[in-house]
Amino acid sequence: MRKPLIAGNWKMFKTTEEALSLVEGIRAGVHKVTNCTVVICPPFTALDAVAKALKGSSVDLGAQNMHPQTEGAYTGEISPVMIKELGCRYVILGHSERRQYFGESDLFINQKVKTAIKYSLIPIVCVGETLEQRESKQFLEVVKKQIDCSLADLTKEDIAKVVLAYEPVWAIGTGRTASPEQAEQMQSYIRRLLNEKYGQDVAQKIWILYGGSVKPDNMAALIAKPNVDGALVGGASLKAESFTEIVLNAAKESLVGKAS
Ligand code: PGA
């Protein structure tokens, strides 16, 4: 069984000082939880301090992005080696905000995924359709293309190291969550695609998270669905109370609701 994974994407929020106080709250809130993997992804500037503050805790650290090259003349960019050195285990790649505001293509994301795996970072690869694509009923096709291209040329072994996050763009930061049925429809479709391409063993190993307005009160219903293995949480990860509650609800529901 895939133990729930809850990742907090802090986006461009929190100075180092603010980050440290948030980490303290999260550590205290989740320290008894054993059946849930908890990851926090602060901005680059806070990674070092947060890594130190997480020493001895089970909370993992992730970055929100990275460049596909290990070094070079890429002003303003951060390499996989650099985030690894700071203690990151995860890295979010292909978030819709990166695709939309920074023009990231599936090809570029694919290069990042390959480098992340090479440096033993676990990529959390985001996919998801816009409202227009949902309304014109192209959403399955859009996500299939994102998956095919951003995960192109990976071996079965490498694919098994990837975490996927289905984040419908219309649900991000809008307070409009996908219903558990909508999330399950897409996520079971994604698992079917993985099954066809890489076989049942690999498909069953891959975590598929849901992201988009996840809150303490909708977590349980979402994670009760068989193909929702956790969440990528934006806004609600910026407060220790709400993030902790999401983790606790996911951990509890996965023991009760998913037992079958
Ligand atoms: P949200 O963001 O929870 O604020 O909707 C999710 C994300 O962008 O990963």
Domain at 37, CATH number: 3.20.20.70
Element holding 219 (H helix, E strand): helix 216-223
Of the pLDDT bands very low, low, confident and very high (cuts 50, 70, 90), residue 260 is very low
pLDDT (average), residues 182-197: 98
Our answer to whether residue 95 is catalytic in this structure is yes
Q: Taking 90 as the threshold, does the pLDDT of residue 256 lie above it?
A: no
**The pLDDT of residue 1:** 77
Place of tokens 């219309």: 170
Counting the structural domains of the chain, the total is: 1
Radius of gyration of the chain (CA): 17
Element holding 10 (H helix, E strand): none
Between the CA of 186 and the centroid of ligand 1 the distance, in Å, is 17
User: What is the pLDDT of the chain when averaged over all its residues?
Assistant: 96
pLDDT digits (tens, 9 = 90+) for 154-176: 999 999 999 999 999 999 999 89
Is residue 159 domain-resident?
Answer: yes
> CA 249, CA 242: separation in Å to the nearest integer?
10
Is residue 140 domain-resident?
Answer: yes
pLDDT digits (tens, 9 = 90+) for 66-93: 999 999 999 999 999 999 999 999 999 9
Q: Could you say which of 95, 104, 129, 184 is catalytic?
A: 95
Is residue 11 domain-resident?
Answer: yes
pLDDT digits (tens, 9 = 90+) for 108-150: 999 999 999 999 999 999 999 999 999 999 999 999 999 999 9
Place of tokens 């095919």: 148
Is residue 260 domain-resident?
Answer: no
Between the CA of 31 and the centroid of ligand 1 the distance, in Å, is 24
Q: Domain of residue 120: give its range.
A: 5-255
pLDDT digits (tens, 9 = 90+) for 9-45: 999 999 999 999 999 999 999 999 999 999 999 999 9
